Chain A
Amino acid sequence: MANVSGKFAIVGVGETLVGKRPEASTNSLHLEAIRNCLADAGIKASQVDGLLTNQPLNDAHRSYAVRLAHMAGIDPTYATDLALGGATPVALVQHAVMAINTGMANIVMCVHARKRSTPDPSPGYAIRTGDEHWEQPWGHFAAVATHAFTAQRHMYEYGTRSEDLAEIAVATRKHACLNKNATMRKPMTVSDHQQSRMIVAPLRLLDCSLESDGGGAVLVTSAERARDFPKPPVLILGMGQHHPHFSLMDAPSLTTLGGKKSSETAYRMAGLSPKEMDFAEIYDCFTITTLVTLEDYGFCAKGEGKDFVKGGRIEIGGELPVNTHGGLLSQAHLEGMLHVTEAVKQLRGNEVEAERQVANAELGIVSGHGGNLCMHSTLILGAV
């Protein structure tokens, strides 16, 4: 099998304003992201021949990708919805590479938007998560609790404390404070975190990400074709996925998740190792997710995440800046779509506020994480 590393590229990014968007609908947020992405790439919708998206959580469709393509004036020769929860945005890029590599499309729009902060004026049918019949009768309803099971187990096995998780929330907030398009821009301290109310112990309010309205999109094509686009292309160097269980009751481990195998596949494809990464955009639906993923990605040994995240190491200017945009915790929760767009902008250079640009950013890793801790996707991206 030929290695696709470096043969495909991201040539456009689009982000919408995020936060509370009561005037917007689920559809309009997707379309705004597509429009902004096309403008960035300097092409028209009619030149795009593939579209990948995720189903709106509150409006299940037979095919949302086909609907969206035609709402945007795209006539796709390849289109489908992917359903990997928060692992979807990273997977959209992976599937775009696969579609272009087989000749089914040449220029693929990957778009993802959410309307979760303000009510959708026209909700449809909600999507099942899949396991609720075996959780809700015992009062288990919330993603925060699913992640609290992991936090509890991580604390038991490795001595991690709530104060260690606070370091992640605080560093992420620092980055959000530098991002004009971030929802939470008031500085946070470890003490603020420790005083925030318990939601599902051991996770507190400030361990939790936001509920947001907004969208993002990226445009993928071959590295060869990428030369015709106005902005510097960002090369797709490594890709991986792993989904080690579906039901939480069936998880082989709560403290090593899909990120381990997923990142190993991506590093192997890219011929790179963790120490070569200049920054990391790590899925942060909860602080514990970031901690476990940093360990699974090999930035430190299992159980050492609690020390790794301290002392400014994961801040801009530190050894491994993490979530340079403010992440799901403090920028916006669009299931990681903005982790992808942020990584592209960091690698192009001069596209984010100067104070949060990672110096000499040449290589970055992006993670996606979804479901009952069960789905994981990885991208390694590089500047040309």
Chain B
Amino acid sequence: MSETQDKRGRPAAKDRPFLDELEAKPFWANLKEHKFTSQRCSACGKFFGFPPQFLCPHCLASEYEWIPLSGKGKVYSFVTYHRAWHPAYQDKVPYNVSLIETEEGVRMMSNVVGCPPEAVKIGMPVEIVYEDFEDYTLPKFRPAT
């Protein structure tokens, strides 16, 4: 076990985002200001989805804008972790991880918070909440009010 590998030689899990990922810097910078954004292609008009990339995955154009999303969406699928793979989650099990589909049709990994994991259902309407840490903000979702 080291900082970079676990005892089976797999890359060590991290509990924070990789903020230096060049393509994603605006995403994290916008979140810091509580703006939830995704790239939209200026040529074909489609959202890139996640993870961010420099060329459009639909038409390979280089021009895009970071567009604010409504922050509303639905749970596409979800799981409940009963085991912690990282020390930071030792006290958090059982916890939810969900695939959220936003109103704009973009899917991302996140957590549904503000309700017990057993209350989460596929198709459940959710809305964004911002969880602030010292140097970044994580987008999470709660049941829509």
Residues of A within 8 A of B (CB): 57-59, 116, 119-120, 123-124, 126-129, 131-142, 145, 148-150, 152-153, 156, 197-202, 211, 247-250, 254
Contacts and interface: CB of A to CB of B under 8 A. Distances in A.
Contacts of B5: 58, 123, 126
A199 B21 contact: no
Given A138-B138, A247-B50, A197 B78 contact: no
Given A201-B94, A249-B107, A149 B85 contact: no
Nearest to B121: A156
Contacts of B99: 149, 248-249
B interface, over-half SS: loop
Interface in B67-109: 76-83, 85-86, 89, 92, 94-95, 97, 99, 107-109
A116 to B, nearest CB: 6
A201 B9 CA distance: 26
Contact of A135 (B92, B109, B123): B109
Contacts of A199: 82-83
Given A248-B109, A249-B49, A249-B99, A139 B81 contact: yes
Interface residues of B, number: 44
Contact of A145 (B8, B24, B51, B97): B97
B80 A201 contact: yes
Interface in B45-80: 49-51, 76-80
Contact of B122 (A124, A131, A138, A156): A156
18 contacts: A58-B10, A120-B9, A126-B4, A126-B10, A129-B11, A134-B108, A136-B15, A138-B111, A139-B92, A150-B77, A152-B79, A156-B77, A199-B83, A200-B81, A247-B51, A249-B99, A249-B107, A254-B77
B26 to A, nearest CB: 15
Given A58-B10, A126-B9, A140 B109 contact: yes
Given A133-B51, A139-B86, A249-B99, A200 B80 contact: yes
Interface of B: 4-5, 7-11, 13-18, 21, 24, 49-51, 76-83, 85-86, 89, 92, 94-95, 97, 99, 107-111, 117, 122-123, 138, 140
Contacts of A128: 11
Nearest to A154: B77
Contacts of A120: 9
B11 A126 contact: yes
- For A132, A145, A211, the residue with the greatest tally of chain B CB atoms inside 10 Å of its CB is A145
A152 B78 contact: yes
A145 B138 CA distance: 20
Nearest to B88: A139
Contact of A149 (B18, B79, B89, B94): B79
Given A116-B8, A142-B85, A249-B99, A136 B13 contact: yes
A141 B8 contact: no
Contact of B18 (A133, A156, A211, A254): A133
Contacts of A57: 9-10
User: Which of A59, A137, A199, A254: most chain B Cβ within 10 A?
Assistant: A137
Nearest to B6: A126
Contact of B108 (A139, A198, A249): A249
B24 to A, nearest CB: 8
A132 B14 contact: yes
Contacts of A124: 9
Given A133-B18, A248-B99, A149 B77 contact: yes
A149 B78 contact: yes
A250 to B, nearest CB: 6
B79 A136 contact: no
Contact of A153 (B77, B108, B109): B77
Given A149-B77, A249-B108, A123 B9 contact: yes
Nearest to B136: A137
Contacts of B111: 138-139
B96 to A, nearest CB: 9
B85 A141 contact: yes
A126 B3 CA distance: 12
A44 B86 CA distance: 47
A346 to B, nearest CB: 31
Contacts of B79: 145, 148-149, 152, 200-202
